[in-house]
Structure 1
């Protein structure tokens, strides 16, 4: 397994991993905006010539966020997700990031167990969100 930063040539394979994992595909425009900030925090994992896993992180100067982690079902249970997270944590630490946050849906028990095994603790915070209309 080889982990490296995302390149635009990977986009179709990344969307295939997201779709196979039941994840929403991040549109090109949103991804382009994210990549202007911290492209080194969008990682892919390859097995041979196959893109099999992806993790997207970001850092705002105060907190790191893990926004999306997905491993193709054919490559699960081989430690790929843990290795992707470990590499992302290393890159965030190198940027001086003191804490990493992430969101897990409360009914995602497997996800909660995975993140807790990596040392992420559930917090009683209340998530608030507000969708914004695109500029006119």
Structure 2
């Protein structure tokens, strides 16, 4: 397995992975804006040149955020997610990022266990969200 930075030829494979794991697909326009800021924080994992995992992180100069982590079902429990997160954390550290946050849906007990095993601690924060477009 190899973890590397996302490149545009990966887009269709990443979109298919997101779709196959029940996540919304980010548009090319949305990713273009993200990549203008911190392209080194969008990573893919590949096995035999096939994209099998993806993690999307961002850094605002104060906090890092892990926005999306997805692994193809056939490659789960094989260390792909852990490798992606480890590389993303290494890149956050290189940016001198002091803390990384992420959101886990309350009903996703398996995801919560995964993140806790990597040292992420649940916080009693309240998530507030407001869509700014139609």
Shared fold by TM > 0.5?
yes
TM-score, with length taken from structure 1: 0.97
CA drift at 1:20:
1.2
**Stretches (4+) displaced over 6 A:** none
For structure 1, list consecutive stretches of 5 or more residues without a partner in the other structure. none
The aligned length equals 134
Distance 1:19 1:133 in 2: 22
CA drift at 1:19:
1.1
- Report the equivalent of 2:64: 64
- Report the equivalent of 2:122: 122
CA drift at 1:23:
1.0
- Deviation track 1:6-30 (CA, whole Å, cap 9, x = no partner) reads 0000000001111111111111111
- Report the equivalent of 1:19: 19
> Is residue 2:14 matched to residue 1:45?
no
CA drift at 1:74:
1.1
Let me know the Cα RMSD of the aligned residues.
0.8
Distance 1:22 1:90 in 2: 27
TM-score, with length taken from structure 2: 0.98
CA drift at 1:40:
0.4
For structure 2, list consecutive stretches of 5 or more residues without a partner in the other structure. none
